[in-house]
Homo-oligomer: A and B are copies of this chain.
Amino acid sequence: MTHALLPEGFRDRLPPFADAAARLEQAILGAAYAHGYERVDPALAEFEAGLAGRLKSARTQDAVRFVDPVSQATLAIRPDMTAQIGRIAATRMGHHPRPVRLAYAGPVLKLRASQLRPERELRQIGCELIGLDTIAAAREIVEVVVEALAAAGVAGVSIDFTLPDLVDILAAGPFPVDADQIDALRDRLDAKDAGGVAAIAPAYLPLIEAAGLFEPAHERLCAFDAGGALTSRLDGLWNIAEGLKGRVALTLDPTERHGFEYQSWLGFSIFADGVLGEIGRGGSYTIVHEDGAEEAAIGFSLYADAIVAAGLGPIDRRRLFVPLGTDPALSAAMRGQGWVAVTALEAGDTPEAQLCTHILVGSEVRPL
């Protein structure tokens, strides 16, 4: 029967992984909370028109849509929460003094999987700092993500920085490119295709080499930027990296563009030892208000599923079996001491069936 199967890209998380994922999320949001990031919980579905165009340059996402029988409008299940946070910051929290610090966690749904991500349902956890995208703001955001991952027990974190608007800046300044060639140039740089780049704009070739470990790559990028068009960005990157030195591995890939369609001057991908692919990403971006006004913001999102799937979430499963007929006050006392106490409800029940590691004998806890 097909009843047992889920559609491609969907899955159930079972014990003990669902609890591990919840603990991971609590640790991440707890660290962010200590920095003042308060949680918002946006609606799971909203008017499609309210999500589109909320983040400047964001493409229309591949959202699940349905016609709402009440409003007769098309609603979308959120494919991403960042645009929702932008909407909330621009509307109901529009009167709030800036910067506003917001955190969130919840499921997002994509109609189709992407090449990089076979999942169509993901759990997104993130923080957004709205009203600033300065170096100080960027330093705080990367500090929060590093502390959050440490609190969650994720080891071997590395951050790969990029400069999403690099080509725009250079093309508008020292190295002009025909407007109709800019997209192709970005593509070739993203693919590290030296031949392709040379055919369009050879001046950009050194950018391909300016990737790798942060310090040497930064140095090569500084050498490339003789005219100083990138000075503020390069100084900013250096300043941000300084706050992280010796704590996480840092790399720089200035032309990495995939997935940074709407980011402005700064983008970063987050990796961890033992996890294939990125565990999160972040960067600066621009929120578009109702009146068309634009507002700078910066933030990050983490994908808990990838982290938990790699077994990085702490799993502690000590369970105490409480035999039939035990005084409920005794098992309540064991729970009060922090035990998971599983009560036998019928004669045939056993500690093994209940995955217990310990058993209560009289009032004594014995390991099994």
- What is A's interface to B at a CB cutoff of 8 Å? 1-16, 18-19, 21-22, 26, 29, 33-36, 38-47, 49-50, 54, 64-66, 68-71, 73, 75, 77, 84, 87-88, 90-93, 97-99, 101-102, 104, 106-107, 109, 111-113, 120-121, 132, 134, 136-137, 140, 143, 290, 319, 328, 335, 339-343, 345-346, 349-350, 352-354
A26-B29 Cα distance, complex, nearest whole Å: 13
Which residue on B lies nearest to A129, using beta carbons? B345
B43 touching A10, Cβ below 8 Å: yes
**Of the candidates B26, B41, B137, B352, which one forms a contact with A345 in the assembled complex, judged by CB atoms under 8 Å apart?**
B137
Known: A43-B121, A44-B121. A33 touches B7 (CB 8 A): no
Which residue on B lies nearest to A31, using beta carbons? B335
- Point out the residues of chain B lying under 8 angstroms from A5, CB to CB: 47, 50
Which residue on B lies nearest to A84, using beta carbons? B12
- Point out the residues of chain B lying under 8 angstroms from A328, CB to CB: 143
**Of the candidates B9, B26, B40, which one forms a contact with A12 in the assembled complex, judged by CB atoms under 8 Å apart?**
B40
- Point out the residues of chain B lying under 8 angstroms from A99, CB to CB: 345, 349
A44 touching B107, Cβ below 8 Å: yes
A328-B142 Cα distance, complex, nearest whole Å: 14
Q: How many copies does the complex hold?
A: 2
- Point out the residues of chain B lying under 8 angstroms from A107, CB to CB: 44, 106-107
- Point out the residues of chain B lying under 8 angstroms from A77, CB to CB: 64, 77, 109
B8 touching A109, Cβ below 8 Å: no
**Of the candidates B7, B102, B113, B346, which one forms a contact with A15 in the assembled complex, judged by CB atoms under 8 Å apart?**
B102
Known: A45-B64, A345-B132. A88 touches B10 (CB 8 A): no
Min CB gap A358→B, angstroms: 12
A235-B216 Cα distance, complex, nearest whole Å: 78
Which residue on B lies nearest to A36, using beta carbons? B342
B36 touching A290, Cβ below 8 Å: no
B39 touching A2, Cβ below 8 Å: no
A112 touching B1, Cβ below 8 Å: no
B341 touching A7, Cβ below 8 Å: no
Which residue on B lies nearest to A26, using beta carbons? B26
Min CB gap A360→B, angstroms: 13
- Point out the residues of chain B lying under 8 angstroms from A10, CB to CB: 43-46
